[in-house]
Structure 1
Amino acid sequence: MASLFTFDSDHQRVSSPWLSPSSTSDLSSSRPRQLGSGNASPSLLADHGVVRLEAEPQEGPVEYKLHLLLRSRREYSSSSTGQDRFQPYKLNEPRKEKPVSSHEKTRERRQRRLQELSTQLLWRLQQSSPYHDFSTSELTLPELPEADGSLEPPRPSKLLAGLEQSRGALYEIGVSDDGTLVGLTKDEMDESVKNLRAMAASLGCTVQLLKMVVVGSCEWHERKNHLNSPSQHQTKFEAREEGESEQNLRHHAELWVAEALVIPDLSSSRDILSGNSARDQSSIFMPDPPYEADHISDANSQGTSAQLRIALTGPTTSGKSTLLGTLSTSTLDDGRGKSRLSLLKHLHEIESGVTSSITQELIGYKDESVINYAYPHITSWTDIHSTAKHGRLVFFSDSAGHPRYRRTIVRGLIGWVPHWTLLCIAADDGENAPITQGGTASAQQILGTAGSGIDLVKAHLELCLKLNQPLTVVITKQDLASGISLKKTLSKILTAIKSAERVPFILPPDHNSSIPENGLRTLATSDNEKIQKVLDKMQESNSLVSVVPIVLTSASKGIGIRLLHCLLQSLPIPKSPTAYDFVGRALNPEQPACLFHVEDIFINQPLSHEREGSGHVMAGHMRFGRLSVGDFVSVGPFHVAGEKNGDMQENIASYTSPNSAASTMFRHSSADLTRITSRNANGPLAKSEWHAAKVVSIRNLRLPVTTLEAGQVGTIGVIFDRRTLLTQRMRKGMVIAIPSQHMTETGLQAAAGFTACFEDSNIDSVTPGSLVVVYIASIRATARVLHLTLLSDINGPMSNQAQDDDVFGLDEAEEKEHGTEPLIFGSDGITSVAFELLANREWIELGSQILVMPGGGVGLYSGSERGQKGVAGLECFVGKVIEVVD
């Protein structure tokens, strides 16, 4: 439950036990031979050069089955494969309850047997999937093969959600668990395959026969009154021995072993993609393996549920993870972190109780129900998607709170572009008494003597207010705080919110002193009236940022949890982003058709001509546009081999000069900006920075989909051009884009530097030549400050010429006469800062938000920690990118 994506790069491969180690042992990386109607050509055991197979593996997608019959097997008088050593399968007798007919008993036992076999097949299919979550809420019970009476293979039902990425399961029929090739007669084999097709159809899969091998022969005796059985017509010949009773016949038949591959049925989705003209270019790409990661499900569209993204932040020991654990499991905490155990990723987090990484969780809402892990039949995110259909999905991103993990804190607030931020502040934060069980630690207890006098709550609150995002404050541990402490905490929060010109709105808490766990699974009707007042306030102000709801909660008593659920179900969702939300078309006319920011890498293997089938799986956020399976995209910017920092400095110098910064850096017109962004696009640098790739799989919050829409988060699997040799591994901060028509000719262009404007009066503490860490979308990079310039407004700098003309101070006198004061550097107006990226060139969108953290100097603890001037290392400056330089 702790990770957004449970992708396993070392998942099990579908390897045939008939192949030698020197042979190609991975069925998922090679296209199988065409089998026509699905029947393999018969062959002899001698053709394969094997006597027996290796023992059945306990785990993996390979299953050995002596047979798949739903009845007891016949007994053989002799068998060349030693089949008489094995006991015939006997159906378990049902428990004796009420009297039923013999026919009903038999049908019930056969149905139960078929269901058990189908469950085993599902488990084997999961073994070859790189994803570990599957939905069982829509599991269809298999029908007995003779129910329809049709001789045609059953039509696959709806593919079970989560099986789209499975590479299949391999069934060896007629083989014992120790690998002995026992075999079945032709009629038994046909019946077993028919049952396997029925099992596969119930899961939305199809069956392909890969091998039919004769491994021996057998004999059995049958009474004459059984001659009308189906086995009579399947035997090779019949004989009547001399002296034998006329009532007994001896049958002789061959014994067969079959290898069958069960794979998800993706024909409907492939038909949809067949009309895509872009797939005509697929000849330059790696072949599409039928069991590769390009499996998609058209039926599981993500557009039926509204999606809200929440970033959870706050000081350490404020109860963020505990609160999220209670929200996602409806489990009350015991004061020692019981409810948060399912969220923690690492052992040291469980031992220390301090979160150090970003973890994600999903909760659904539909009508008055909370769709979490306490809801019936919910075991994975896929189940939540299915159950909360036409409702709302809330995606939580829980980050660290300790000052030493401030980079993780900032990435959690910026990288995934949350719609709302939930700031958790402990109600007992103002207590000076020693920590009780579940109590909140002070800054001095967390940081030692260096933390004396530091206010962690103020540091986190100011950071959230600076980002200017929709904010909700959650007061935790209400049951542990005294009245005086709670009053001090609220006073601190209200003062900070009002100073930021926002309106705090305290939601009345629950009157109950304790709420049972089963009461946390539904929404209370009385809470809707409280939430509606907040929504009306936001609608009046016509802004999501202006009003800050405040909720008081307790994860151990359940106080405020239902109210918080109701608020999460009702919080407004911003409109879907577009390419020109930051800057209009006039200043930024050329944008890609779509843009995806890479936040994490799951499979990162450099591709070469010899390694076909390798790919990259990336998680991130869809900035704008739409990305579909089968699209051809550009991925980058990659680090160019041989590029040095000096090259980037030279590039910057061609546009900037320290002596004439104000006149050269900010006088570009919109036409100049277009020319700058496309400069060198046809050069060798741009060509090697961006590589063509094809999208082969997409998941939105773990749900396999065909398209990722603007504003959504998910994973994207790509494969690169076979002719492409990647010398650099993919990294966080890169982008996936579909170039627009103009960019198809000029190419995408990365930036070596940029300029940002800031309204913060303390920005003058960042001196030219100093090193800082910048955060832009998914980018976290080290940059050097080139120079600072004071701007009169956001549209342009103060003109040096105008300053030179006013040598007598006439303008100053005129300003005083009209009651205005002149701009003072670092205190009024807007200051622009030019930055140079040191490590890599990056894709930076004009108008995007930037967060700058000062670097250098001795930190709060020891060593050369960044953020010496900041409160608990969270001191930062938030601005906007106004120019990019290539």
Structure 2
Amino acid sequence: MASVFTFDPNPPRVSSPWLRPEESAKNSGTGGSSPSSHDESNQAGEPDIDRLEAEPQEGPIEYKLHLLLRGRRRYEMMSTSIKASGSRSKPLRQPVANMSQTRQTRLQQLTTQLLWRLQQSSPYHAKARGDLVIPKLPEDHESLEVLEKPQRLLPGLEESNGALYEIGVADDGAFIGLTKDEMDESMTTLKIIAASLGCRVEVQRMKVVGNCEWIEQPSPDGESPEEQARHHDDLWVAEALVMPILEPQKDLNDDGDQAHGHQGSSASPAKDASQTEQFRVSIIGPTTSGKTTLLGTLANGTLDNGRGSSRINLLKHRHERVSGQTSSVAQELIGYKDQNIFNYASVDIEAWTDIHDHSETGRMVFFSDSAGHLRFAGPSCEALLARGPHSLSGTTDDLGDMADSLNLALTHLDLCLLLEIPMVIVVTKSDVAARDALKSNLNQVFSKIKYAGRTPKLLTPKAASDNVLTEIPISSQQQVLKEVVEPISRAESLLSIVPVVLASAVKGQGIDLVHALLATLPMPPPPTARDYVPLALNPEQPAALFHIDDKYELESRVVQTSTRASDGKAIVVAGYLRFGRISVGDRVVIGPFPADDDEARGQIPRDHPTPGYGLSISHPSTSELARIASRNAVPASAVKGEWHNAKVVNIRNLRLPVRTMGPGQAGTIQIVLDDVNAPADRDSEVEQVRAFRGLIRKGQVLAIPSQHMLDSGLSLQAASGFTAIFKDHRVANLTGGGGTLVNVYVATVRTAARIIRVSRQLPDRVGRADGEPDDVFNMAESIELDPAHGGRDDSDVSALPEYSVTLDLLSSREWIEMGSQVVLMEGGNSVGLEGYVGKVVEIAE
């Protein structure tokens, strides 16, 4: 839920007010110096200051005179009070604080204050999605250890950078101080309220700032004050850092199992993981087809003005707004629950975390809007290979006059059909399309779909209304259930039906059907490690596998408070979890990286430019070919430094902070790398970490080794090449013997490869689907299958041979899963998407 308060999206770092400005900048994020013990002397090197800056009204710093649940005793003299007041008048004889609240009320107030401070240091300030747990009073429980034991972290605090408490300090920054017993009691109270929120307390510093004198109050036996001893004690101030506990703890799990290592991939769903259904949708199609405008209407809940007003918020760069063409991948999230649509037009939705809250137990759809221009057509395949359950493809308003756009749209369609991806076809700008041209183009689309053995289903839109942007009409949902969902259920295949929707982002026609499809289409089964090949063909699968699609760096308290040297940057990788489960605290491996030793590095060829659009690549020399050939003779286990260990310290599932990511979900994972060589010089180690972090790239994987791999000492095996099977006679045109360079797409891997050989296998027969395609406008005209638009004669269909293609990777070794789909594309192709789709059947280590 969106907060009623206004928060800074870039909250102030947790930085100690004890530090000078230059020291504060150097130690930003650590909350001060290293934690200190409760010694009874001033710490060496402590700044010689007698007061702090006044307490800031906002941010993670909190000045507390004390954290007692009772009133302070009456003091005869306090040296710090005299200094604070600036007067040398008579000694202080009044109580320093008067507790008019009950102990339970005081405890509740302190807990709420701590929660507020923790939220102040969170960049997203998500509302805590759980009830505030008010801890018990110390006397209500037999053991303080139980009260100080951290509970499960309150949901919503996962992104907090912590809260810094200055104890014994007045609001104006003056050092008042507490006696030893008062400081111990205040620390105990702070630990108790922090534990109730799932946090821990780290004491940063303690310092003597003065002394005091008091006389004990009369005892119940009636002793007079004159008979009481006069007491003297030092006055202490302390700094304590309250930090959320992100690592799973054994005692916090209901089943008693520790979420660590391979156990993080348990099949039982974790309570702290998102349980909402999640669709991943890639929007592809030619440029100017209205893909981004359509997404803007779906995500923002506003109709377009005919000039792209609904897409403005989705464009990232100025040149995109000027040209009107998308050149980067935009991502959006929409939630559905019952008939409700949760987008930015909904009340109290300002961020993705709000969509998570509203659509809980419903469904969320994660969109990736790709660029449509020809120069960006190649990378759009990577979104397809992410295996999102559904893809949306758009055509233009008058494809008859835009042959290039039509050909590119049909090429997108061919690629989706070859990849066997469930899809929805959205014909945008249908309100201004010419009837005859639209019918002709749809006939071609239907022909391709029918020929692939799938059934196109045209959904006729009704008159648009304003409420289709905020909720799904019952009639639209029933139409989708009857005409699409039920036939898919009967066929028991997500590929059986291809819905086709005529839509308009200006008039709103068909938008209700698109929302209804996204909200009701069947979910695919959760992916497993055995989806591609059975156990017998690929026995050594990791317990969890995360494909890296991007890498980020940000300031992190987790790295800066660790024992490892760091430059203050955290490693965050983005992608999707292919199978298994990954939890905070899991030990993972990341790679493959370039080899560490010179001998292994010499067996890996030099980097080559990938053969992209219109790029000509020269052939390698004889010595380079020999190096490529010799590489396959080296087993993968002999390549030193190819895989490195790391620890997961933070996870976001579609920007929602979670402790566990489930199979098929997308998000970001923050990791801390283990020491590589651990040099003695800290500066050298920082440089080493920085250089090593630069090697993390798209196409790598995070993996949790299986129990068998851990017991046997086996490591993951990267591939230097592979063999794939293609059911496409055009593959025979690829010359073997190292003469052809191609782009290879496998999952998130995009790399250059060389064709080693192409051989023909046994033929495989493919049949054609029966029946005639639907008529677009309920007309009786037959639709002829034109070979120029994807059809083939019976002789072509009767015997399609299989071709085995062996490739050698040029630039680096990659993780390639046995049985995964692969797309080959030749460099300099005129269309950019006419590739060859096959399946990996052998890995060359």
TM-score (norm 2): 0.72
Question: How many angstroms apart in 2 are the aligned matches of 1:110 and 1:272?
Answer: 27
* Residues 161, 630 of structure 1: alpha-carbon distance in 2 compared, 3 angstrom cutoff: closer
Question: What is the alpha-carbon distance in structure 1 between the residues aligned to residue 426 and residue 203 of structure 2?
Answer: 58
Q: Which of these residues, 424, 431, 450, is aligned with residue 472 of structure 1?
A: 424
Confirm or deny: 8 A CA contact 2:206 2:238 kept in the other structure: yes
CA distance in 1, matches of 2:323, 2:154: 40
- Alignment check: 8 A CA contact 1:682 1:747 kept: yes
1:141-191 CA distance string (max 9 Å, x none): 798999x99999899997443422423121336768886657799999999
Cross-structure match for 2:778: none
Q: In the alignment, which of 803, 808, 821 is matched to residue 849 of structure 1?
A: 821
* Counterpart in the other structure of 1:332: 303
Do structure 1's residue 624 and structure 2's residue 595 form an aligned pair? Answer: no
Does the 8 Å contact 1:133/1:162 carry over to 2? Answer: no
CA deviation profile, 1:339-364 (whole Å, cap 9, x unmatched): 33333333333343322222322222
**CA distance, structure 2, for counterparts of residue 645 and residue 456 of structure 1:** 35
Work out the CA distance in 1 between the residues paired with 2:135 and 2:720. 66
1:457 aligned partner: 409
The verdict on how the C-alpha distance between 1:145 and 1:737 changes in structure 2, with shifts beyond 3 A counting, is closer
| Pairs aligned (count) | 731
Q: For structure 2, which runs of at least 5 residues remain unmatched after alignment?
A: 1-7, 70-76, 88-99, 227-231, 263-268, 607-622, 679-687, 766-792
Distance in 2, matches of 1:885 and 1:526, equals: 54
Q: 560, 563, 567: which is aligned to 2:517?
A: 567
Shift in Å, 1:594: 2.7
Q: Which residue of structure 2 lines up, in the alignment, with residue 690 of structure 1? A: 643
Determine helix, strand or coil for the equivalent of 1:307.
strand
- In structure 2, what is the Cα distance between the partners aligned to 1:468 and 1:531? 22
Query: In the alignment, does 2:49 pair up with 1:50?
Result: yes
Give the counterpart letter for 2:727 in structure 1. E
* 2:276–2:360 contact (8 Å) kept in structure 1: yes
Cα distance in 2 for partners of 1:823, 1:28 equals 74
1:883/1:201 Cα in 2 relative to 1: closer, same or farther (>3 Å)? Answer: closer
Secondary structure of 2:121 counterpart:
helix
TM-fit CA distance, 1:850 = 0.5
8 Å contact kept, 1:360–1:395: yes
Please give the alpha-carbon distance, in whole angstroms, between the structure 2 residues aligned to 1:559 and 1:12. Answer: 46
- Please give the alpha-carbon distance, in whole angstroms, between the structure 2 residues aligned to 1:746 and 1:192: 51
Instruction: Confirm or deny that 1:125 pairs with 2:125.
Output: no
Q: 1:279 to 1:575 in 2, by over 3 A?
A: closer
2:649 aligned counterpart, secondary structure: strand
- Name the structure 2 match of 1:590: 540
Return closer, same or farther for 1:154/1:593 CA change in 2, 3 Å cut-off: closer
1:792 aligns with 2:762: yes
Shift of 1:838: 0.6
Q: CA deviation at 1:280?
A: 11
Q: 1:732 to 1:706 in 2, by over 3 A?
A: same
Deviates more, 1:334-343 or 1:54-63: 54-63
* Structure 1, gaps ≥5 residues long: 1-7, 71-75, 86-102, 127-131, 220-229, 240-251, 282-297, 433-441, 444-450, 657-675, 796-820, 856-865
Shift of the 842–83 alpha-carbon distance from structure 1 to 2, 3 Å rule, reads: same
Query: Which residue number corresponds to residue 422 of structure 1?
Result: 392
- Cα distance, 1:558–1:183 mapped onto 2, change above 3 Å: farther
* 2:316 alignment partner in structure 1: 345
- Cα 1:555/1:732, change in 2 over 3 Å: same
The equivalent position to 2:663 in structure 1, one of 690, 696, 710, is 710
1:163 maps to: 157
Q: 1:780: which partner in 2?
A: 750
Letter in 1 for 2:398: D
Determine whether 1:836 maps to 2:808.
Answer: yes
Change (3 A) 1:486 1:13: same
Kindly report which structure 2 residues correspond to 1:296-335, keeping only aligned pairs within 5 A, or say none: 301-302=272-273, 304-335=275-306
- Paired residues for 1:379-390 under 5 Å: 379-390=350-361
Structure 1 letter corresponding to 2:571: H
Structure 2 distance, partners of 1:43, 1:608, is 24
Taking a change above 3 Å as real, the CA distance of residues 730 and 591 of structure 1, as seen in their structure-2 partners, is same
The structure-2 alpha-carbon separation of the partners of 1:68 and 1:706, relative to structure 1 and needing over 3 Å to count, comes to closer
SS in 2 for 1:342: helix
Q: Verify the 8 A CA contact 2:152 2:252 in the aligned structure 1.
A: no
Contact 1:42 1:213 in 2 (8 A): yes
Identity of aligned residues (%): 44
TM-aligned CA distance change 1:538 to 1:823, over 3 Å: closer
C-alpha separation in 2, matches of 1:301 and 1:352: 44
Match of 1:259 among 219, 222, 239: 239
Q: Is the 1:330–1:520 contact (alpha carbons within 8 Å) kept by the matching residues of 2? A: yes
Q: RMSD of the alignment, in Å?
A: 5.3
What residue in structure 1 maps to residue 498 of structure 2?
Answer: 548
Say if 2:128 and 2:154, in contact at 8 Å, map to a contact too: no
Pairwise CA distance, 1:116? 9.8
8 Å CA contact retained: 1:508, 1:530: no
User: Normalised by the size of structure 1, how large is the TM-score?
Assistant: 0.69
- Once residues 111 and 278 of structure 1 are traced to their aligned partners in structure 2, the CA distance between those partners, rounded to angstroms, is 32
CA contact (8 A) 2:281 2:367 kept: yes
Structure 1 partner of 2:620 = none
Tell me, in whole angstroms, the C-alpha distance in 1 between the residues paired with 2:534 and 2:842: 14
> What are the residue-to-residue correspondences of 1:283-682 with 2, within 5 Å?
301-302=272-273, 304-414=275-385, 416-426=386-396, 428-430=397-399, 442=402, 455-512=407-464, 514-516=465-467, 519-532=468-481, 533-603=483-553, 610-611=565-566, 616-641=571-596, 642-643=601-602, 644-645=604-605, 649-650=625-626, 653=629, 680-682=635-637
Cα distance in structure 1, aligned partners of 2:723 and 2:201: 59
> Per-residue displacement from partner, 1:205-251 (whole Å, max 9, x unpaired)?
566665565656999xxxxxxxxxx9xx9xxxx99xxxxxxxxxxxx
Q: Please give the per-residue CA displacement for 1:709-754, whole angstroms capped at 9, x wherever unaligned.
A: 3322232333333244676511111122233425844432211111
> Separation in 2 of the partners of 1:460 and 1:366?
31
CA distance in 2, matches of 1:557, 1:67: 63
How far the C-alpha of 1:312 sits from its partner, in A, is 1.5
- Note the C-alpha offset of 1:611: 3.6
What SS is found at the alignment partner of 1:568?
A: helix
Judging changes above 3 Å, is the alpha-carbon distance between structure 1 residues 648 and 792 closer, same or farther for their aligned structure 2 residues?
farther
**1: CA distance, partners of 2:259 / 2:490:** 47
Aligned counterparts of 1:299 and 1:788: Cα–Cα separation in 2: 47
Letter in 2 for 1:400: A
Query: 1:801 is matched with which residue?
Result: none
Q: Which amino acid aligns with 2:120?
A: R
Letter in 1 for 2:367: F
Distance (Å, rounded) in 1 between the aligned partners of 2:727 and 2:563: 48
692-701 or 42-51, which deviates more: 42-51
CA–CA distance in structure 2, aligned partners of residues 822 and 318 of structure 1: 34
Letter in 2 for 1:171: Y
- Whether the 8 Å contact between 1:763 and 1:826 is mirrored in structure 2 is no
Residues 366/31 of structure 1: CA separation in 2 closer, same or farther (3 Å cut): farther
Aligned to 2:697: 731
What is residue 96 of structure 2 aligned with on the other side? none
Per-residue CA deviation, residues 295-346 of structure 1 (Å, 9 max, x unaligned), is: xxx9852353222221111122222222222222322233333333333333
Distance change (3 Å), C-alpha of 1:840 and 1:374: same
Change (3 A) 1:157 1:626: closer
Shift in alpha-carbon separation, 1:114–1:749, aligned structure 2, 3 A: closer
Range with greater deviation from structure 2 (773-782 or 417-426): 417-426
Residues 752-791 of structure 1 deviation map (CA, whole Å, 9 limit, x = unaligned): 1112222223224433412111100110001112222122
**Does 2:30 match 1:27?**
yes
Corresponding residue for residue 3 of structure 2: none
Q: Does 1:879 align with 2:831?
A: no
Does the residue aligned with 1:688 lie in a helix, a strand or coil? coil
Pairwise CA distance, 1:55: 7.2
> What residue number does 2:617 align with?
none
Q: Is the 8 A contact 2:151 2:252 kept in 1?
A: no
Could you tell which deviates more after superposition, 270-279 or 369-378? 270-279
